[in-house]
Structure 1
């Protein structure tokens, strides 16, 4: 969406606010502050992150703009963020138009799947994913279709071929593949996403199978045998079960339902602090907040870690390599903002059809 006068004014105010916050919120390590001051310190740190990203919004890559705007709307309910979201709808719609035209062609689906597999990186994780996906027919295509449909669902939209896609996915034989230990080892966070997305887009509900699948792939009594990367992958998967159940910060979750995950984080807290990345630590803290456990000691530990990780000059959590890329760091930093300035209320949406201005900017197929 194009930059407008409102956006410029918003950014100008953000920069001025940032200057005031910097004067008040000089960097301090959390353990040096009195307990009653922590909440205010965390809020100031969060605002430094928000002001940094708001004032640099137009510099973000499109994918980062979309993710940031949607998450910030759900955390703040501010119309501004809703109006900046949805720029990706045209691209998704064009892609799904092509998928609808070719969906009945099994050879075409398998060719698309193989192209997606071939584009995976040659990193350790990329190689593991290639090995897991090779020889699985069109399943990689099916997974990407789920993701694209879920992206539209995020904005309250359905592609005209939605029911055609649903029917295909119901017969795509994905359950045992996604619940396998091999797939979870390669895609721990994503399997939670896929399973909940299938529920949200109206295909099937396999959410009740996730616990057994994860315990089979990563039994707790084998944690000592996990490498740092494997341990982090397990943590990612567990956090995403909770985050996905919240429909990504749109609703609270049951602490009883997810007690097995929250208890696990509590028992592994020291290892988490020493061995996990900041984005994982932030997600772990958010799991407690989504479950309404605002005074839990593990949450407090994660908040301290993230508050202290915010660079005092860059006003963001840097990558583990020290990168200050705003786009690549957007996911990590919107998590940090949420953890340090959790709202009293979460907002559902943004549903683009409910606002005349946003609806008018959508492809015509959604305006019927």
Structure 2
């Protein structure tokens, strides 16, 4: 499905559930319209429910990682215990990763060997992004061990109020490496912007090395706004993806509201460049921009309204989901963009959940290796 571009004024009138008014940024500002009317909000909620039905009717046909990704986000949005099994799938993934690392990795040399195995995935993929990642990481394979696996799993366990039974050993592994060179390398940022944003905040969350400000400074130098037009669409999307993940990571992934003053530079950029963002990035990135505004409570923002209208229009009503850019409707591949669409179109606030202290029923049977903090 074609994405509507905000440069031209188009209003779409389609009967029934699919009836959505697409109001581009310039028109909304010039005519001082309310960004989202109550009728639009209701239709957006219906759109979100349509996607939810598509995924939840088949959720447990998906692999544990994908089902866990979806279920955790929906639990944090709704606090509905029906997502407990999906959250348990995510816990099991975390436990499996940390069990393997605790058992097999004792030294930096072993960490590099672990990363070398993971590097083969990137070597065999032909996309521009994966090839960039392979080239920049092949001389530092331990980054794949530390950043992609260890930090992510430890941070998620921490969010649940859990830790691994060999937590001290895992923290010692983190301390074997200086993360600052990864976080401040322009070539690493060009390949891994969103992931690095997550990882520097995870390090802070775990009371380890704090390189958040170093990363943000390096990111701004790598992607100065004055050079946007010189970026390929792939690199421009990487920039926007990095910006949204700074906000997401600061919220500990939809758990806490965002202080708009701290990230005013990001919101100012989004407001000034929303037309370019809608033109040059995919639906998942557009949805993330919109969710950034919801996290900050900027509910009357025309930029938010633009992202919502764009994402609502992207839904294929017959299939009940947003397809990929090449028209693919595979649930596993489309889960990321579609769960983001659900959140964008029917936002229900932030919740620091689930945790073992507040929702003990979710955690009554902990996967082997995880214990209460």
Short-chain TM bin: 0.7 to 0.9
Query: In the alignment, what sits opposite 1:362?
Result: 366
Query: In the alignment, what sits opposite 2:22?
Result: 31
Q: Is the 8 A contact 1:310 1:318 kept in 2?
A: yes
Q: Is the 8 A contact 2:254 2:350 kept in 1?
A: yes
**Which one of the candidate residues 161, 171, 177 is aligned to 1:172?**
177
Residues 297-355 of structure 1, C-alpha deviations (whole Å, 9 max, x = no match): 11111111011111110111111111111111111111111111111x32212124654
**What CA distance in whole angstroms lies between the structure 2 residues aligned with 1:35 and 1:92?**
41
Between the two proteins, the alignment pairs up a number of residues equal to: 344
Aligned pairs for 1:1-368 (under 5 A) are 25-31=16-22, 35-120=37-122, 121-136=125-140, 138-143=142-147, 144-343=149-348, 345-352=349-356, 354-366=358-370
The two structures, once aligned, show a CA RMSD in angstroms of 2.1
In 2 relative to 1, CA 366–119 (structure 1 residues): closer, same or farther, beyond 3 Å? closer
Say which structure, 1 or 2, has more relative contact order (CA 8 Å, 6+ apart): 2
- Helix, strand or coil at the partner of 2:258: coil
**What CA distance in whole angstroms lies between the structure 1 residues aligned with 2:370 and 2:103?**
18
Which consecutive unaligned segments of at least 5 residues does structure 1 have? 1-23
Q: Is the 8 A contact 2:52 2:342 kept in 1?
A: yes
**What CA distance in whole angstroms lies between the structure 2 residues aligned with 1:241 and 1:211?**
8
Residues 173-212 of structure 1, C-alpha deviations (whole Å, 9 max, x = no match): 1112222111110001101011111122232322223321
- Helix, strand or coil at the partner of 1:292: coil
Instruction: Report deviation, 1:59.
Output: 2.0
In 2 relative to 1, CA 105–76 (structure 1 residues): closer, same or farther, beyond 3 Å? same
TM-score (norm 1): 0.87
Q: Is the 8 A contact 1:353 1:359 kept in 2?
A: no
Which consecutive unaligned segments of at least 5 residues does structure 2 have? 1-14, 24-34
**What CA distance in whole angstroms lies between the structure 2 residues aligned with 1:141 and 1:267?**
38
In 2 relative to 1, CA 269–358 (structure 1 residues): closer, same or farther, beyond 3 Å? closer
In 2 relative to 1, CA 352–323 (structure 1 residues): closer, same or farther, beyond 3 Å? farther
Q: Is the 8 A contact 2:99 2:369 kept in 1?
A: no
**What CA distance in whole angstroms lies between the structure 1 residues aligned with 2:117 and 2:186?**
24
In 2 relative to 1, CA 288–354 (structure 1 residues): closer, same or farther, beyond 3 Å? closer
- Helix, strand or coil at the partner of 1:158: strand
Instruction: Report deviation, 1:25.
Output: 4.7
